Amino acid sequence: MNKPHNTLAVAIGLCYAASFAMPAVMLRDDETMFGWLAFAYALPTVFPVWLANPFFLFGLFSLAMQNWRGATIWGLLSCPCIAFGLFLIFFVGGAPHVGFFFWAGSCVALALVRWIAESWWPGIDFNSERPEDIE
């Protein structure tokens, strides 16, 4: 796992997965909604927010396949969904909790993955070892 795209895919994927086990939203009546419950609740009720999840997963798969541009685009597509989710949390009188920030952070990290890779591995060649380049 010495390749930057694999390292980043695992790190970002673990952050996303951890968000399901953490408290994600504090509701008005001091009840806490965990990430897995927020995921299940958002699908039928606030579908535009839930769309951040498949966008993220497509982006993570793109990153694992070393498609840096695809990962960035899918990550960017998930960002408006996150912003809408944050708006809805405040609209209903709730507050985001640590799980929400892990979830949102993993999507934002995917959107910024090329910048992160360039920062950690200066001079990285984003086009190396693409399947079409191997003969």
Question: How many domains, in total, are found in the chain?
Answer: 1
Q: What is the pLDDT of residue 102?
A: 96
Identify whether 131 is part of a domain. Answer: no
For 43-70, write each residue's pLDDT tens digit: 888 888 999 999 999 999 999 998 989 9
Q: Could you report the per-residue pLDDT of 59-116, keeping only the tens digit for each?
A: 999 999 989 899 999 999 999 999 999 998 899 888 999 999 999 999 999 999 988 8
Residue 13 lies in a domain: yes
Q: Is 132 part of a structural domain of the chain?
A: no
Flag whether 99 is in a domain: yes
Residue 123 pLDDT more than 80?
no
Helix axes 98-111, 52-64, angle to 10 degrees: 50
Question: Quick one: pLDDT at residue 112?
Answer: 92
Distances 52 to 37, 69, 84, 120 between C-alpha atoms, Å = 15, 17, 10, 26
Mean pLDDT of 31-40: 91
Print the domain residue range for 117. 4-124
